[in-house]
Amino acid sequence: ESQLNPNYTFESFIEGDCNRLARSAGYAVANKPGGTSFNPLLIYGGVGLGKTHLAHAIGIEIKDRYPEKTVLYVSAEKFTQQFIDSIRNNTKNDFVHFYQMIDVLIIDDVQSFSGKEKTQDVFFEIFNHLHQHGKQVVLTSDRAPVDLQGMEQRLLSRFKWGLSADLQKPDLETRIAILRKKLFTDGIEMPDDVVEYLAYSINSNVRELEGALISLLAQSSLNKKKITVDLAKQMIDKFVKNTTREISIDYIQKVVCDYFDMPMELLKSKTRKREIVQARQLTMFFSKQLTKNSLATIGAQCGNKDHATVLHACRTVNNLAETDKRFRTYVDDLRKKLTLA
């Protein structure tokens, strides 16, 4: 079992300036695995830019051309887990032997080897064996080799034996081509202006672009609406807000102070005046609910209180919201403002 995803082919991987070198190096490797100077081939780039897709494409192409070769795709995490299991079960030799028998080894997201010395050692051993025997190694990483902190120098120097090629963010034309290809493959029609609008609006990475396309198609079929630029616009407003907005304690303090029309200094002070204590408690309550900050951090930012005070505030808000109608309105109003619901 090579663990390859049949959809991630070269055919479905759109070429652009952003990926030309990595793609053609990958293609060269697929033509002559182990027989080029691109060994190892290291493909690196940010999230959602096609590393995993390209890694699979290389494996699939090799399987096609050389059915007798054993090709294995494995994530670095899975490799690590298998290694740990082999230690526990006293089967490390089998583990190493298994990997040394492979003709084409593809390891995805090797940045996760960082700081794992034992895993790096065993990978080093396997890598050397494969390389000496003319076997192909393909690696991906979410950052350039120079930025791989926590990776042993001897491994990094092995990476330099081959080729490192990066994937960059696709330009507008490539994004349009990716969307068109996807629509064509799925047999879906979409007006050109909508495709262009989507490609224009989502420039972060290909995964988000595909996500936006899927959301738009879902919106249109669920609400039985025609796919138009307007619908795309509504969807993106929602989509982008949900993915990129992160609520901070600062922001919650500002919204609460605006709502009660009180100065920020009072909220952060030690004053025990009732209205201010309430506003402070509401701030703590929402900070607990809507941010990932610890109780201690929340307390520190709300007038130097400790974590027990924050816990108490959360309970008080819950109780008051049940028993006091006016207070319930505060909670509802603030929640709406904070989550834009």
The answer to whether the CB of 99 falls within 8 A of the CB of 119 is no
Q: For helices 51-65 and 20-31, give the axis angle rounded to 10 degrees.
A: 20
Strand, helix or coil for residue 73: strand
Q: How far is 128 from 131, CA to CA, in rounded Å?
A: 5
> Which of the listed partners (Mg ion, ligand ADP, none) does 305 bind, with a CB threshold of 5 to 8 Å by partner kind?
none
Please give the residue ranges that form the binding site for ligand ADP (CB under 6 A). 8, 12-14, 19, 45, 47-53, 178, 206-207, 210
205 contributes a contact to Mg ion by CB under 5 A = no
Of the two residues 22 and 71, which places its CB atom closer to ligand ADP in the complex?
Answer: 22
The answer to whether the CB of 44 falls within 8 A of the CB of 143 is yes
> Which of the listed partners (ligand ADP, Mg ion, none) does 47 bind, with a CB threshold of 5 to 8 Å by partner kind?
ligand ADP
Query: Which residue, judged by CB position, is nearest to ligand ADP in the bound state?
Result: 50
> Which of the listed partners (ligand ADP, Mg ion, none) does 49 bind, with a CB threshold of 5 to 8 Å by partner kind?
ligand ADP
Q: In what order do the strands lie in the sheet with 71-75?
A: 71-75, 104-108, 136-141, 41-44, 163-166
> Which of the listed partners (Mg ion, ligand ADP, none) does 210 bind, with a CB threshold of 5 to 8 Å by partner kind?
ligand ADP
> Which of the listed partners (Mg ion, ligand ADP, none) does 283 bind, with a CB threshold of 5 to 8 Å by partner kind?
none
**Considering only residues 43-102, where is the footprint of Mg ion by CB under 5 A?**
51-52
The answer to whether the CB of 115 falls within 8 A of the CB of 150 is yes
Please report how close the Cβ of residue 19 comes to ligand ADP at its closest, in angstroms. 5
Those residues whose C-beta lies under 8 Å from the C-beta of residue 131, and which sit 6 or more positions away, are 39, 40, 137, 158, 161
The answer to whether the CB of 155 falls within 8 A of the CB of 120 is yes
Per-residue x/- mask for Mg ion, residues 5 to 44, rule CB under 5 A?
----------------------------------------
Of the two residues 214 and 264, which places its CB atom closer to ligand ADP in the complex?
Answer: 214
Binding site for Mg ion (CB under 5 A): 51-52
